[in-house]
Chains A and B, each alone.
Chain A
Amino acid sequence: MKDHDPAPAAQKARPEALSRRAFLWRLAGAGVAAAAVGGIGLSLRDAVGPAAMENARALATLGDFAVPAPIAGKPRLAEVHGTDRAAMFTAGVAALGGMAAFVARGDTVLLKVNAAFAAPAVLGATTSPELLAAVATACREAGASRVLVADNPINNPESCFEVAGLADAARATGARLVLPRPALFSPLSLPHGRLLKDWPVFSGAFAGVTKVITLAPVKDHQRAVASMSLKNLYGLLGGRRNIFHQDINGIIAELGAMLTPTLCVLDGTTVMMTNGPTGGSLSDLRQAGVMYLSADPVATDALGVGLLGKTPADLPYLALAQAAGVGTTDVASLNPVTVNTEPAAG
């Protein structure tokens, strides 16, 4: 006999009859899930937000990235002669113990270039893209996990890196450009500093950085006489930094105390002899064919100024930096070594 009982039919139409108990359990479960999600969101909320710069604690330095000095008697400065920047850098580093002496596996290396102007590389106003590519590649080969390239240029940052060929060099070698943004600047007050007091510096570029290599060209400079390793650090300042031109020697000396680099590469392969720091004419340049490598920026600059036909005495900031313990103009004390990368070079 066919079952005509309507109740079982209705129960079949509704797949499941929800009991009060089941409903309450489900309600409780949904409530717990909603509370958990809301709680997670609440825990992630920063009700205060980042502190404004004026209330932030000022940095004392950008860091000490020096590696242990080599044993006594080993060279701590290399003077390399040649024309091929990549070969010159390789030879110079080899003379100082090899890249492993400066960069270890897993390091994050910041390459501080001079990208001050939106000028083609051929005009020699900025760090050579060939040198940047060579150093970035060497860092990678030494095991660096990340290679960053930074500067706070005078002109529009993107234009400067692109026009100078540094952006292409970075891309080609897997290095990452760190372009300046206001959020990447923090105030710095140099202990015992006279000029660097609560001044914004490009500290954001140093996040996670374990080694710093500076790459500077040798240039005539209208105000500072010469722009080399120490003056290159000017590109880590933010704000209306041109006010420091009134005491250019004082500020350059303090820049040396602001940061202790792992290695300084001073590129005098092509030297801007006149009308610096911008130049503009190929006749401002001289092919000097020299590169200096050392952890000591005072020493590299003491030698580099000779390429401009001047002496260390022409750069008052060298004496100031030496007095502040940044480095030494007594280059002989660094057991310098001279390397020729080409038979006819030097």
Chain B
Amino acid sequence: MALRRLGPSRAESAASSAVLVLLAAAIVWLGAVQSRLSPAVVVATSPPPPAAAPVASADGRVFETAAFLESLAGATPGGPVESYDPETLSDRIDGKAELYLAANFQEMSVRGFSLPSGAHLDVYLYAQASPRDAYAVLSAQRRPGATPSDVSPDAYATQNALYFNKGNHYAELSADRADAATLDALAQAARDLAGRLPAAEPAADGAGAAPDPKTLFPAAGLDAASLRLAASDAMGLAGFSNVYTADYAMPSGAATAFLAQRDTPEAAAADAKAFAGFLAENGYAPQQAQGLPQGAVLLAAPGSFEIIWTSGGYVAGVHDAVSREAALELAAALAAGLKDAVK
């Protein structure tokens, strides 16, 4: 009897090899296809990009404010410095950006710190175009009932925060608690930061040769905490920019004084005329009065009195006085102070 052949034939071997090659090819093909993920999958599985720009932006800009937040006395950094320019500021502070942008915002850096008390501290450092712009954003946000701080002349503190301006910088230091140890550490950090910020250059914005307008408000009846600089659209008039306002409690009632400095008397007169026209469009009518400052007009609506005039390059006035007497009293006091300034 013939022996049965035990091994596969040559054809069987070839067929087996072909099947194995096909399987291997299928595996390679599947691997290659699967390695090319859909862009949607790549995006979906990628970590979200950081919301903040790094210290240098995509266009290579270096944020000078970031360097000031590298360290703070008595505070431990809790994360990276994040910086924003006018294009990205609203990514960080949403609608609040409008306030800064209206006052010639340049850039902002922010960093979180921890304090020895265990509190978390956020420090925001804004750079505006000029010291006047920095004061505008500080004064526009002044908290009622805040206490003055010695960090800078216009600095103030609340239960958990401290705000100050120096030069063209405005800083906010906000902690998440209000205990004494936290406030002490917060003030220490603020002093350190203020000490490293550059002071304003004399007459840097062209306004330094004349008295600072906010020093020209009469002292009697003044609510010092109400002093504001409206960077734009003061008192509702579009384009009425860089106007200081201050609230008064006059013997005859409440009133607000305003003062704006312009480059020329003609520019001041044009703004005064525009504001008077704006009031007339909104229902105010001229009234005659004795004792008005030279060249002033008095406009009145039920329960509201306005006085507007110019003195040299200043636009001055009284806004929304509750009585005619209060308007006249405040106008006289403001005019007396201005007389000395424009000599």
Chain B contacts for A123, CB-based, 8 A: 174, 176
Of A183, A274, A281, the contact of B174 (CB 8 Å cutoff): A281
Determine the distance from Cα of A31 to Cα of B16 in the docked complex, in whole angstroms: 10
- Among B6, B33, B39, B98, the residue within 8 A (CB) of A222 is B98
B206 within 8 A of A: no
Q: How far is the CB of B1 from chain A (nearest CB, A)?
A: 8
Given the interface contacts A34-B22, A49-B39, A277-B96, does A154 sit within 8 Å of B144 by beta carbon?
no
Cross-chain contact A30 with B19 (CB below 8 angstroms): yes
Q: Within the complex, which residue of B44, B95, B122, B141 is in contact with A248, where a contact is CB–CB below 8 Å? A: B95
Most buried by B among A7, A157, A183: A183
Nearest chain A CB to B206 CB, angstrom units: 29
B143 within 8 A of A: yes
Given A14-B6, A49-B40, A222-B99, A154 contacting B94 (CB threshold 8 A) = yes
Write out the residue numbers on chain A whose beta carbons fall within 8 Å of the beta carbon of B51: 153-157, 159
Residues from chain B with a CB closer than 8 A to the CB of A284 are 143
Additional pairs, 11, CB under 8 Å, beyond known A154-B93, A179-B48, A182-B44: A154-B90, A156-B51, A157-B51, A223-B95, A245-B95, A275-B141, A277-B96, A281-B159, A282-B159, A282-B161, A283-B159
* Min CB–CB distance B27 → chain A (angstroms): 10
In the complex with contacts A27-B19, A283-B143, A156-B50 CB distance below 8 A: yes
> Which residue on A lies nearest to B145, using beta carbons?
A283
A45 neighbours in B (Cβ, 8 Å): 33
A49–B122 Cα gap in the complex (Å)?
A: 44
* B146 touches which of A27, A38, A49, A283 (Cβ 8 Å): A283
- Chain B residues, CB < 8 A from A183: 40, 43-44
Q: Closest 6 A-B residue pairs measured CB to CB? A: A223-B95, A183-B44, A120-B176, A242-B90, A50-B40, A49-B38
Asked if B302 lies at the interface with its beta carbon under 8 angstroms from chain A, I say: no
B143 CB to closest chain A CB (Å) equals: 4
Residues on the B chain within 8 Å of A20, using CB: 9, 12
Partner of A277, one of B16, B22, B94: B94
How many Å lie between the Cα of A288 and that of B16 in the bound state?
82
Question: Closest residue to B174 on the A side, CB-wise?
Answer: A280
Q: A221 contacts the other chain (Cβ, under 8 Å)?
A: yes
Tally of A interface residues using CB under 8 Å: 55
- CB-CB under 8 A from B178, the residues of chain A are 282
> Measuring CB to CB, which residues of chain B are less than 8 angstroms from any residue of chain A?
3-4, 6, 8-9, 12, 15-16, 19, 22-23, 26, 30, 33, 38-40, 43-44, 46, 48, 50-52, 90-99, 120, 122, 141, 143-146, 158-161, 172, 174, 176-178
Contact B143 A278 (CB under 8 A): no
Q: State whether B144 touches A283 (Cβ < 8 A).
A: yes
Contacts of A38 in B (CB 8 A): 26, 30
Kindly state the separation between the CA atoms of A31 and B21 in the bound complex, as whole angstroms. Answer: 12
| Chain A residues with CB under 8 A of B48 | 156-158, 179-182
Cβ of B69 to closest chain A Cβ, rounded Å: 16
Could you tell me if B143 and A275 are in contact, using CB atoms closer than 8 angstroms?
A: yes
A34 cross-chain contacts in B, Cβ below 8 A:
19, 22-23, 26
> Which positions 129-188 of chain A face chain B at CB distance < 8 Å?
153-159, 163, 179-184
Q: Which residues of A contact B9 (CB under 8 A)?
A: 20
Q: Does B159 lie within 8 Å of A242, measured CB to CB?
A: no
Are B160 and A278 in contact, with the CB atoms below 8 A? no
Complexed CA–CA distance, A275 and B98 (Å): 12
Residue numbers in B under 8 Å from A49 (CB-CB)? 38-40
- Cβ < 8 Å to B, chain A residues 89-112: none
A336: Cβ under 8 A from any B Cβ: no
Chain A residues with CB under 8 A of B144: 274, 283
Give Cα A275 to B270, complex, Å: 32
CB of A10 closer than 8 Å to a CB of B: yes
* Closest residue of A by beta carbon distance from B12: A23
Query: Interface readout for A183-204 with B: 1 if CB under 8 Å, 0 if not?
Result: 1100000000000000000000
Complex interface: chain A residues within 8 A of B177 (CB): 122
Please, could you name 29 A-B residue pairs with CB atoms under 8 Å apart, sorted by A? Answer: A20-B9, A23-B8, A27-B16, A34-B23, A34-B26, A120-B120, A122-B177, A154-B51, A154-B90, A155-B51, A155-B91, A163-B120, A181-B44, A181-B46, A182-B48, A183-B44, A227-B95, A245-B97, A274-B144, A277-B94, A278-B94, A280-B172, A281-B160, A281-B174, A282-B160, A283-B144, A283-B146, A283-B158, A284-B143
Which of A119, A275, A278 has the most chain B CB atoms closer than 10 A to its own CB?
A278
Do residues A281 and B161 form an inter-chain contact, with CB atoms below 8 A? yes
